[in-house]
Copies of this chain bind each other. A is one copy, B any other.
Amino acid sequence: MPSRPLNATAASLLGFLHEGPMSGWDLVATAQSRIGDFWSLTQSQVYRELAAMAADGLVEAQERGRRDRRPYAITDAGRAAFTAWVSREPEPETIRFPLLLTIMFGRHVPADQLATVVARHRQAHAARLAAYEQIDAELPPGAAEAEPYAVATLAFGLAYERAMLAWFDDLPPAIAGG
Residues of A within 8 A of B (CB): 8, 11-12, 15, 18, 34-35, 37-40, 82-83, 86-87, 89-109, 113, 117, 120-121, 124, 144-145, 148-153, 155-156, 159-160, 162-164, 166-167, 170-172, 174-175
**Judging by beta carbons under 8 Å apart, are B90 and A121 in contact?**
yes
Q: Which one of B34, B38, B98, B108 contacts A95 once the chains associate, using CB atoms below 8 Å? A: B38
In the complex, are the beta carbons of A150 and B101 less than 8 A apart? no
B residues within 8 A CB of A101? 8, 11-12, 15, 35, 38-39, 90
In terms of DSSP, what is the predominant structure of the interface of chain A? helix
A8 smallest CB distance to B (angstroms): 6
In the complex the two chains form, is B94's CB within 8 Å of A40's CB? yes
Interface centre among A96, A107, A144, A167 (most CB of B within 10 A): A96
